């Protein structure tokens, strides 16, 4: 007989990175989903280890003052948001506390942590959303976001507050079309053919919109109908085929049904060309604040001669630095982003930036200038390799700016930079992802000898 899930009542203490509240039951630690600090909650455990467990709050016995009614019916189930039941100022406070705690043991860091720079727009702020197709147990087609922790279950997203009203309308129309034409969802386990994803990208600086519908195969009339129903809502429309059924969607055949195939976004007056595969910061307004501040810190105490932009993506940081440094070298390992970065340089008529294709984490990339004044790093969640930290420190740049999306790997890497030796001069968090636990942090390090 299947064992009933264990339930217990706990008092929560604080938030941890990942969006759970930490509670203790004797000396046992429980990470509780959907709870806030200082709440008494009934928890149902879903994963148990020797000294800790993961559970979900199923009843809030004593709510925290920061708890508010959620404006989304899927709160707690959806993998998109973790904080919809928490007042926005408290979300920022909790994020700052998590960052401060993560920096424990990093000399001089905790006391420098500033308040999180808030987002003015906390709804409809994402410029890119990827929705997936699936079906209910009864076989009804769905288009939306994944249930938390599930790659099969899809929750409706026609009311999702992370993107715009226009985007929600596109979700409604595309779902209605698929139902009308009787086109099924691709089945992740049985691998039966069907629709996979709908990606909507919205350039906030130009109001241009790109839509891509991805299926494992073509269906008669689908592309024509797609164009007809989205004509008034999208500047660029793709219908794409992806037969790579054993991994995440990676279309190998794309048909442009409308437009040039690209949209253009702006950041602090700079222009960026965005294609269906282009990585781009997903919160335009907050990315503008982050990069404007980065550019300001880059000029302290004076204009840098040579600056490196490592993990450059499509070049937004290099383009911001181009205005304040004599020369910028951007380094990026993913070929499509390297090409996109070069296109963006041309689009902005910028002459003092070079883009190198190289793996920053492996070894010192070839072709770097001997004397480097400033290094900016913006790595993905795993952070920097010790090799990368070693070669950066060996070039002895006067300053390093670290843009981090993961406080844990940030703390680990800062400890190595401190030994190089650098000291920390600023720690400034930015909220690019309201209602989620994610946080971007900008750190300024200065060489001490």
Ligand X SMILES: C[S@@+](CC[C@H](N)C(=O)[O-])C[C@H]1O[C@@H](n2cnc3c(N)ncnc32)[C@H](O)[C@@H]1O
Residues lying near ligand X in the complex (CB under 6 A) = 279, 281, 311-314, 316-317, 331-334, 337, 359-361, 378, 380
Question: Which C-beta is closer to ligand X: that of 134 or that of 365?
Answer: 365
Question: Which C-beta is closer to ligand X: that of 197 or that of 281?
Answer: 281
CA distances from 85 to 70, 72, 227, 395 (A): 5, 9, 38, 47
Question: Which C-beta is closer to ligand X: that of 256 or that of 347?
Answer: 347
Q: Where are the alpha helices (DSSP H) in 379-424?
A: 386-394, 407-419
Tokens of 328: 């910028």
For residues 387-426, one letter each, b for 16 or more C-beta atoms within 10 angstroms of the residue's C-beta and e for the rest, the string is ebbebbbebebbbbbbbbbbbebbbbbbebbbebebebeb
Choosing from 72, 81, 160, 405, the catalytic residue is 405
Question: Which C-beta is closer to ligand X: that of 54 or that of 280?
Answer: 280
CB of residue 442 vs ligand X: minimum separation in angstroms? 12
Q: How far apart are the first and last CA of the chain?
A: 67
Question: Which C-beta is closer to ligand X: that of 36 or that of 274?
Answer: 274
Question: Which C-beta is closer to ligand X: that of 11 or that of 271?
Answer: 271
- Cβ-Cβ contacts under 8 Å for 364 (sequence gap 6 or more): 391, 394
CB of residue 317 vs ligand X: minimum separation in angstroms? 5
> Measured between alpha carbons, how far is 27 from 15 in angstroms, rounded to an integer?
18
Closest to 64 measured CA to CA, from 37, 88, 84: 37
Closest to 149 measured CA to CA, from 81, 78, 84: 78
**3-class DSSP state for residue 357?**
strand
CA distances from 418 to 304, 415, 447 (A): 21, 5, 9
CB of residue 103 vs ligand X: minimum separation in angstroms? 20
The closest residue (CB) to ligand X is 313
State yes or no: is 78 an active-site residue.
no
Tokens of 281: 């910061």
CB of residue 318 vs ligand X: minimum separation in angstroms? 8
Question: Which C-beta is closer to ligand X: that of 5 or that of 380?
Answer: 380
CB of residue 434 vs ligand X: minimum separation in angstroms? 19
Q: Is 267 within 8 Å of 274 (Cβ atoms)? A: no
CB of residue 336 vs ligand X: minimum separation in angstroms? 9
> Measured between alpha carbons, how far is 290 from 288 in angstroms, rounded to an integer?
6
CB of residue 359 vs ligand X: minimum separation in angstroms? 4
Asked if the bond preceding 252 is cis, omega within 30° of 0, the reply is no
CA distances from 423 to 21, 275, 294, 378, 417 (A): 32, 40, 17, 19, 8
CB of residue 128 vs ligand X: minimum separation in angstroms? 12
Asked if the bond preceding 421 is cis, omega within 30° of 0, the reply is yes
Q: 448: exposed, middle or buried (C-beta count within 10 Å: 0-12, 13-18, 19+)?
A: exposed
- Cβ-Cβ contacts under 8 Å for 241 (sequence gap 6 or more): 214, 215, 216, 217, 218, 251, 252, 253, 254
Question: Which C-beta is closer to ligand X: that of 277 or that of 326?
Answer: 277
Residue 115 CA from chain centroid, whole number: 20
Residues designated catalytic: 405
């Amino acid at each position: 007989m299947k064992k009933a899930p264990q339930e217990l009542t706990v008092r929560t203490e604080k938030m941890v990175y990942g969006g759970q509240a930490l509670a203790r039951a004797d000396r046992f630690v429980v990470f509780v989903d959907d709870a806030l600090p200082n709440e008494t909650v009934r928890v149902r455990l879903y994963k148990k280890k020797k000294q800790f467990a993961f559970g979900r709050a199923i009843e809030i016995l004593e709510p925290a003052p920061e708890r508010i009614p959620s404006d989304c019916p899927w709160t707690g189930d959806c993998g998109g948001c973790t904080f919809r039941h928490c007042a926005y100022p408290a979300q920022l406070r909790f994020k700052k506390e998590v960052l401060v705690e993560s920096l424990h043991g990093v000399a001089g860091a905790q006391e420098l942590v500033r308040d999180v720079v808030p987002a003015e727009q906390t709804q409809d702020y994402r410029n890119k959303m990827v929705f997936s197709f699936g079906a209910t147990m009864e076989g009804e087609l769905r288009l939306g976001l994944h249930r938390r922790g599930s790659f099969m279950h899809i929750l409706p997203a026609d009311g999702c507050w992370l993107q715009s009203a226009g985007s929600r309308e596109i979700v409604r129309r595309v779902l209605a079309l698929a139902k009308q034409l009787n086109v099924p969802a691709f089945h992740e386990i049985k691998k039966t053919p069907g629709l996979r994803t709908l990606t909507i990208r919205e350039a906030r600086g130009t109001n241009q919109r790109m839509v891509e519908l991805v299926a494992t195969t073509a269906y008669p009339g689908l592309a024509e109908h797609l164009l007809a129903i989205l004509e008034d809502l999208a500047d660029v429309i793709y219908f794409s085929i992806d037969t790579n059924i054993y991994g995440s969607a990676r279309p190998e055949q794309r048909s442009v049904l409308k437009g040039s195939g690209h949209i253009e976004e702006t950041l602090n007056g700079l222009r960026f060309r965005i294609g269906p595969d282009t990585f781009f910061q997903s919160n335009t307004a907050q990315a503008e604040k982050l990069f404007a501040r980065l550019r300001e810190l880059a000029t302290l105490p004076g204009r840098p001669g040579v600056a490196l932009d490592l993990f450059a993506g499509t070049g937004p940081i290099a383009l911001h630095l181009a205005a304040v440094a004599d020369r910028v070298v951007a380094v990026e390992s993913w070929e499509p982003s390297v090409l996109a970065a070069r296109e963006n340089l041309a689009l902005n008529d910028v002459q003092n930036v070079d883009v190198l294709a190289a793996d920053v984490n492996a070894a010192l990339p070839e072709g770097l200038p001997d004397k480097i004044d400033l290094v900016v790093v913006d790595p993905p969640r795993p952070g920097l390799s010790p090799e990368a930290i070693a070669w950066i420190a060996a070039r002895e740049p006067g300053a390093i700016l670290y843009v981090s999306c993961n406080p844990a790997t940030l703390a680990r890497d800062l400890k190595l930079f401190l030994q190089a030796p650098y000291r920390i001069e600023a720690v400034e968090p930015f909220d690019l992802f309201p209602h989620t636990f994610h946080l971007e942090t900008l750190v300024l390090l200065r060489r001490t000898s």
